[in-house]
């Protein structure tokens, strides 16, 4: 039996030079350029190429299996034997002992009593800079010096791979979470999203036990202290829509909802930059091009060193990682009150979902469990060029180690308790499916959100969508009236009906997974063929 003590990890950390322990971003930037890990853009952002992995590799993610009954084991939460984990840990420790490593101490969770300290040990200076940008600095959290929680240690070695044929793995690449030993091992992939989402999975495991809902959502705050949440998978608009010059950004991707209110799990943003537009997305544009920002897989002009955000040579999943300090209007503490409005974002490639519809409580639970969107190219390995319809429970299935009902029940309880308005927002296509219709104009989507938040949609008539049984506002300030009901935008009405029936069928097939565990009003709240 292989035995690894915490002391061996501590010995590795203590051997890292002081200059490389919580190094200043300047040192990380200098080392990244000196080691040829990346190039500087004209504005001083670090531009890196993550190699063959330009998105997450979900088939290579595992949880060490100690017989935990609360883990929702399956295709997403794949078990790995403790002995395999220990063997890989020993190999990674040996590997790191012979290389330059960087040690960054951060936190996840802005609420002090529920935050978890992090120790990121990485062989890449740019990954250390990414971690410094993305997570919360420990000295920014009240009482962090006397934090009672043991840290999670992340060993990040993109150039280290598992031996060929390692039992339990599907390839030489691996992302392994050990909740008992409080460690994360990442090897064989340089895509920094694996660091970010592994930490999110950790928070999704521990927070619900404290009656805190962990959420895959962005959040912002209005001048009247009204909080809005934006749930959605990658590419649906969480970062773009929450980055509103008229509101303060709380965070762009991951949050907790406690008895006190909303708090950010991170200290930075990880924004998609494909087709980034300075006019429509000025906050992300400015933040992504500052000194110390990290741009993943963005193409630079050889002469001007300006980034070309429209270039998809490496991937459509181009990214910018920057701290919240780079956003002019942000909530410095990362903490706010309870939300007044929640938006479920679905980038519907079928062109059937209305641009905006208001959900009752039962519908809110149904669409939260469904987590429908069209997954956009590049966010995961092996995705093709066309969007793929997907149902990701709670808008975050790849990161949920517990049974979905745990998160769903928590959300339902909090929505009822705080009387939250819930909206379904289509950030995808209108007037036809992908390839025929057009993506809904971003200014229209912003106008619909503003109208919902301001209360402008409270006292107007609503239509009922004849196929999906959704309540759609009859008008909305700043939005052409004819786009609010999707059928009005389709030239071929029979094609609309065919696509609508197919989408309803997909909803029904997906919800069969949860039908037996939900109350009858939730089961009947979704679209139904022949209803």
What is the C-alpha separation between 437 and 214, in angstroms, rounded? 35
Active site residue 253: yes
Active site residue 234: yes
Strand partners, 191: none
Vertex 202, ends 199 and 206: CA angle to 5°? 145
- Give the end-to-end CA distance of the chain in Å, rounded to a whole number: 60
What is the C-alpha separation between 198 and 61, in angstroms, rounded? 9
Q: Which of 253, 375, 414, 446 is catalytic?
A: 253
Strand partners, 263: 256, 335
What is the C-alpha separation between 370 and 442, in angstroms, rounded? 24
Q: Which of 132, 156, 196, 238 is catalytic?
A: 238
Active site residue 288: no
Active site residue 124: no
Output the 3-class SS for 202-238: HHHHHHHHHCCEEEEEEEEECCCCCEEEEECCCCCCH
Vertex 319, ends 229 and 37: CA angle to 5°? 145
List of residues 6+ apart from 146 with CB closer than 8 A: none
DSSP state of 57: -
Q: Which of 131, 234, 427, 445 is catalytic?
A: 234
Active site residue 419: no
Number of other residues whose CB lies within 10 A of the CB of residue 280? 14
List of residues 6+ apart from 89 with CB closer than 8 A: 4, 155, 183, 185
Which among 148, 179, 324 has a CA at the least distance from the CA of 252?
324
Q: Which of 214, 239, 240, 293 is catalytic?
A: 239
**Spatial strand order in the sheet of 319-323:** 38-40, 46-48, 294-296, 319-323, 268-272
β 116-122/102-108 pair status: antiparallel
Active site residue 56: yes
Interhelix angle 6-15/82-97, rounded to 10 degrees, is 20
Q: Which of 41, 50, 56, 201 is catalytic?
A: 56
Active site residue 319: yes
In this structure, what token pair is assigned to residue 500? 């609508």
In this structure, what token pair is assigned to residue 179? 């909740």
Q: Which of 124, 156, 247, 319 is catalytic?
A: 319
What is the C-alpha separation between 77 and 96, in angstroms, rounded? 27
Number of other residues whose CB lies within 10 A of the CB of residue 418? 14
The dihedral through the CA atoms of 4, 129, 334, 237 has a sign that is negative
Q: Which of 91, 103, 216, 340 is catalytic?
A: 216
What is the C-alpha separation between 268 and 277, in angstroms, rounded? 20
Which among 18, 41, 2, 56 has a CA at the least distance from the CA of 380?
56
Active site residue 197: yes
Q: Which of 91, 119, 182, 197 is catalytic?
A: 197
Q: Catalytic amino acids? A: 56, 197, 216, 234, 238-239, 253, 319
């Amino acid at each position: 039996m292989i035995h690894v003590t915490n002391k061996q990890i501590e010995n590795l950390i203590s051997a890292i030079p002081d200059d490389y322990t919580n190094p200043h971003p300047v040192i990380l930037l200098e080392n990244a350029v000196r080691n040829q890990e990346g190039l500087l853009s004209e504005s001083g952002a670090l531009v890196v190429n993550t190699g063959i992995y330009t998105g997450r590799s979900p088939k290579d993610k595992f949880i060490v299996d100690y017989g935990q009954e609360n883990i929702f084991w399956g295709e997403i939460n794949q078990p790995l034997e403790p002995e395999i984990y220990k063997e890989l840990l020993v190999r990674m420790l040996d590997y790191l002992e012979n290389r330059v490593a960087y040690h960054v101490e951060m936190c996840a969770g802005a609420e002090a009593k529920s935050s978890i300290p992090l120790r990121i040990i990485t062989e890449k200076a740019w990954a250390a800079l990414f971690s410094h940008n993305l997570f919360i600095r420990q000295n920014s959290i009240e009482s962090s010096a006397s934090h009672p929680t043991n840290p999670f240690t992340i060993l990040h070695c993109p150039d280290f791979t598992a031996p060929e044929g390692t039992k339990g793995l599907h390839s030489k690449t691996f992302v392994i979470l050990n909740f008992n030993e409080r460690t994360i091992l990442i090897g064989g992939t340089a895509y920094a999203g694996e660091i970010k989402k592994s930490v999110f999975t950790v928070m999704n495991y521990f927070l619900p036990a404290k009656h805190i809902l962990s959420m895959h959502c962005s959040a912002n705050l209005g001048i009247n202290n009204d909080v809005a949440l934006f749930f959605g998978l990658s590419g649906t608009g969480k970062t773009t829509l929450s980055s509103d010059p008229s509101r303060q950004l709380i965070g762009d991707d991951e949050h907790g909802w406690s008895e006190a209110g909303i708090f950010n799990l991170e200290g930075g943003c990880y924004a998609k930059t494909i087709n980034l537009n300075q006019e429509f997305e000025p906050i992300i544009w400015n933040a992504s091009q500052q000194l110390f920002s990290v741009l993943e897989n963005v193409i630079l002009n050889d002469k001007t060193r300006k980034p070309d955000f429209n270039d998809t040579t490496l991937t459509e999943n181009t990214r910018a990682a920057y701290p919240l300090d780079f956003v002019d209007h942000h909530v410095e503490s990362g903490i706010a009150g309870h939300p007044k409005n929640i938006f479920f974002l679905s980038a519907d490639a079928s062109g059937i979902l209305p641009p905006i519809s208001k959900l009752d409580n039962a519908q809110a639970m149904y669409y939260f469990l469904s987590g429908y969107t069209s997954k956009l190219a590049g966010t995961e390995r092996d995705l093709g060029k066309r969007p793929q319809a997907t149902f990701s429970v709670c808008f975050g299935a790849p990161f949920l180690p517990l049974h979905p009902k745990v998160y769903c029940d928590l959300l339902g309880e909090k929505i009822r308790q705080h009387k939250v308005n819930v909206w379904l927002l289509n950030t995808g296509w209108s007037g036809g499916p992908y390839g025929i219709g057009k993506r809904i104009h971003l200014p229209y989507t912003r106008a619909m959100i503003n109208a919902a938040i301001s209360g402008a949609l409270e006292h107007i008539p609503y239509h009922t969508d004849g196929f999906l049984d959704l309540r759609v506002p009859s008008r909305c300030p700043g939005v052409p009236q004819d786009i609010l009901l999707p059928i009005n935008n389709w030239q071929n009405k029979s094609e609309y009906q065919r696509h609508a029936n197919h989408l309803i069928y997909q909803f029904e097939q997906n919800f069969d997974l949860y039908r037996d565990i939900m109350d009858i009003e939730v089961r009947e709240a979704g679209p139904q063929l022949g209803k």
